[in-house]
Structure 1
């Protein structure tokens, strides 16, 4: 053992933790194989949280680009300040040949993926760890057909259990009508199992497409298609609730997103190739306030969400990603541009959360 190694071994554990927490996830995964005590430290929940929230862990824009027509998808990670852009395929990270249709997250660096085989996978891009969830179908008539679905990914804050909620619409060809009540399936990671139940009070068919959802503080939120309301799901109690919204929500296009750690609705209207955006924010009392009016912008397809420094991410009509800074009033292209593709965007920070270790706790 060298003198330098001896001195490092003599450092207090909290100092070692501070030094290691500044490293990127890739380096920390290598460090786990160098020293047994490092491996133990790096796997502790306190260190995982410290690393995830450390100021040196950069917040990146995660962009999912997908085309259901071409059955292709991929993702890009880039820093809004340095403009460093790296594009990847899901196949390279998850070792599968499927195409990802929908992505939910991130939540503590984890994502939920839904692919063209109607399978759900939990995924950590930083560690390249992926887990396909066990297949479990609710008991419905063999004649029923699943016509649509909605997914949510969140966590029960009382115990740290990660959960996936899957809402499925079934058509009954014999009755020539939708099956009611709604069929709800909830997966819990620590038990690696699903449970199914019916929901009488929430009409799942009104819930919106994948971009119309958000997770915050133990609740998952979807926008309703027809009545402008918001539907929430309590990850702890596993119950639904309808949230009233301003009258303007009923007649305006819009997507749910997070804005300054609050649930927000980005409403947008287009006229003569110009798009105006209103940002509405919901407080803890479930009351809504219009926080900003942006634009009008030329050739904007829709807003995607809120960046790490107050920027608004926008999808252009040619599927290119742009960023608008409300402070400077500047708008600039970020990429990627893929003809015929749609985009989802979110803010992502690397995480050391181990999906495998969470399942092993059961």
Structure 2
């Protein structure tokens, strides 16, 4: 029987292994090491790990950050593993803004710097530079983590300063920032518009196309109430929104809406 093609071995066999075993495979030869470091292997490995029974939960306490296994069949699932922070920041002074494929985008409150960090590998990258890019201001800015059509990891940073809106995109492959245009027909630079960590607040959703790099507006679900807020969530590769009706002291209803053909369809009521 002929040997399996190299790509089949790497993307259909090695990519299914747990992270510890993948790390051991790097020692086989230089060809394996180089391929494992490529983005297409990283994306394939993350795809299989999302379907794995052994999912990880990052829990942030007042003084510690721990990783918990969610695999209840494992004898050590209840044993937390402490996470070392490779940068100086107390857990209570860290804002976790976005996550993607095991990586976190974190704002260090003491310096306002943005950091991309993988808690399992402990690798990190500070994004701030001398041009004041990569500094995040809570309650004024918004941020997103995405992969573009070239499989490059990007950070989208909508920055509001002194009545102006500027949008930056950080490319992890190029290790540099670039700018894109934001919407002009509404005064989003005004502080009456409150950005939330979940990307939206109120009755307007701002949409960003990761391939065309263009912004657009999306209507809010058809809800008639003075006290409404929402949070976006990806379920089975479809965009959903949990809409909460009522104030923080008294929630009257929580409804799950699904986006289909640029319209919201009402789903489960909680």
Match of 2:207 in 1: 232
User: Contact (CA 8 Å) 1:65, 1:74: kept in 2 or not?
Assistant: yes
Q: Structure 2: state its 5+ residue gaps.
A: none
Aligned Cα root-mean-square deviation (Å):
3.5
CA deviation after TM superposition for structure 1 residue 52, in Å: 2.5
1:146–1:168 CA contact under 8 A, matched in 2? no
Deviation at 1:183, TM superposition (A): 2.4
C-alpha separation between the residues in 2 aligned to 1:129 and 1:49? 17
Q: Secondary structure at the match of 1:26?
A: helix
Question: Contact conserved, 1:74 with 1:87, CA < 8 A, in 2?
Answer: no
- Give, in whole Å, the separation in 1 of the partners of 2:211 and 2:138: 27
Greater share of strand residues, 1 or 2?
1
Matches within 5 A, 1:288-327: 288-294=264-270
Contact 1:134 1:193 in 2 (8 A): no
TM-score, normalising length: structure 2: 0.75
Task: Give the Cα–Cα distance (whole angstroms) in 2 for the partners of residues 264 and 190 of structure 1.
Answer: 30
Distance 2:38 2:170 in 1: 24
In the TM superposition, residue 273 of structure 1 has moved relative to its aligned partner by 6.7
How high is the TM-score relative to the length of structure 1? 0.58
2:177 maps to 1:194:
yes
CA distance in 1, matches of 2:250, 2:214: 42
| Contact 1:123–1:131 (8 Å) recurs in 2 | yes
Q: Which residue of 1 aligns with 2:143?
A: 151
Report what 1:115 is aligned to. Answer: 108
Is 1:185 aligned to 2:168, yes or no?
yes
Change (3 A) 1:87 1:247: same
Task: Using the TM superposition, give the Cα deviation of residue 53 of structure 1 relative to its aligned residue in structure 2, in angstroms.
Answer: 2.5
- Secondary structure at the aligned position of 1:20 is classed as helix
Give 1:268's match in structure 2, choosing from 244, 248, 251: 244
Contact residue 224 and residue 231 of structure 1 kept, 8 A:
no
Question: How many matched pairs?
Answer: 251
CA drift at 1:100: 1.9
Greater C-alpha radius of gyration: 1
Which of the numbers 252, 259, 265 marks the counterpart of 2:235? Answer: 259
Cα distance in 2 for partners of 1:48, 1:25 equals 11
RCO (CA 8 Å, sep 6+): is it higher in 1 or 2? Answer: 1
